Amino acid sequence: MAETLKVAMPKGRIYKKASALFREAGLPIPEEVDESRKLVIPLPELGMEFILAKPVDVPTFVEYGAADIGIVGKDVMMEENRDVYELLDLGIARCRMSVIGLPDWKPGIQQRVATKYPNVASQYFREQGQQVEVIKLNGSIELAPLIGLSDRIVDMVETGQTLRENGLVEMNSIFEITSRLVANRVSYRMKNGQIQSLCDRLQKVISASE
Ligand code: PRP
């Protein structure tokens, strides 16, 4: 009997898209899992166990082997820089990482940038040769330029609605974001059959939708 595959799933907006993809791939995740507040969900009929983690923590659980595989956005991959093996671009939760500011922004003396992604932002501005002070926030990043905390932000843009409703503009796109399937390096060897067969199923759905 194959060992249970521990899958770290990100709670929140990616979860719905990821579980829909699993279902399309012929893995019938019961509907009640979507609404559950349980954090560890055994799925014995699929040979899996879901671990519902905060998205930013998924690569940490996978790197340490607390989960064999996980689903994580490219934004988190770039920011956390964890030692995990990227298996598949799932093509879901598509958006981009961008520099955003007020429409009348001009380079000035105060060069503060607020973001949930301090590593990504620091690296980007270093590469651009711009000296900035990066301020870490945990959410509602768009507030920062509106109330004078920073002159620009680095954040995700999906539909652009948050920008528009707050009178901000996208200045540069830094990279495209989609969700990735990642694996712990040891699990990838030890549970290769199970992981590979999941990848094959998911890949079929992804290729069909391209
Ligand atoms: C994210 C991101 C933007 C918004 C972009 O925030 O930080 O604020 O979504 O999406 P849009 O382009 O479709 O408007 P999230 O909703 O995750 O909440 P947060 O403010 O807590 O980061």
12-58: pLDDT as tens digits: 989 999 999 999 999 999 998 888 899 999 999 999 999 999 999 99
Contact call for residues 147 and 126 (beta carbons, < 8 A): no
pLDDT of residue 30: 92
CA distance 62 to 83: 9
**What percentage of residues in the chain have a pLDDT greater than 70?**
100
Q: How many CB atoms lie within 10 A of CB 99?
A: 22
Helix (H, G, I), strand (E, B) or coil at 39: coil
Q: Which two tokens stand for residue 106?
A: 């001009």
Q: How far is the CA of 139 from the centre of ligand 1 (A)?
A: 8
Of 3.40.309.10, 3.30.460.20, 3.40.190.10, 3.90.1150.10, the CATH number of 95-176 is 3.40.190.10
What are the residue ranges of CATH 3.40.190.10 in the chain?
5-93+178-209, 95-176
> pLDDT band for position 210 (50/70/90)?
confident
pLDDT of residue 1: 63
> pLDDT band for position 94 (50/70/90)?
very high
CA distance 41 to 26: 18
Residue with tokens 């671990």: 51
> pLDDT band for position 195 (50/70/90)?
very high
Could you give the residue ranges of the DSSP H alpha helices within the chain?
A: 13-24, 32-35, 58-63, 74-80, 118-127, 143-146, 161-165, 185-190, 192-209
Amino acid at 162: T
Q: What is the pTM of this model?
A: 0.94
Q: How far is the CA of 116 from the centre of ligand 1 (A)?
A: 11
Helix (H, G, I), strand (E, B) or coil at 102: coil
Which atom of ligand 1 has the smallest separation from the CA of 156?
2
Average pLDDT for residues 4-8, to the nearest whole number?
98
Q: How far is the CA of 82 from the centre of ligand 1 (A)?
A: 23
Which atom of ligand 1 has the smallest separation from the CA of 12?
17
Whole-number average pLDDT of the chain:
96
Amino acid at 49: E
Mutate to test the pocket of ligand 1, among 99, 116, 157, 166 (most ligand atoms within 8 A of CB): 157
Contact call for residues 68 and 26 (beta carbons, < 8 A): no
Of 3.40.50.12780, 1.10.10.60, 3.40.190.10, 3.20.20.140, the CATH number of 5-93+178-209 is 3.40.190.10
**Protein residues with CB under 6 Å of any ligand 1 atom:** 139-142, 155-162
Q: How far is the CA of 200 from the centre of ligand 1 (A)?
A: 32
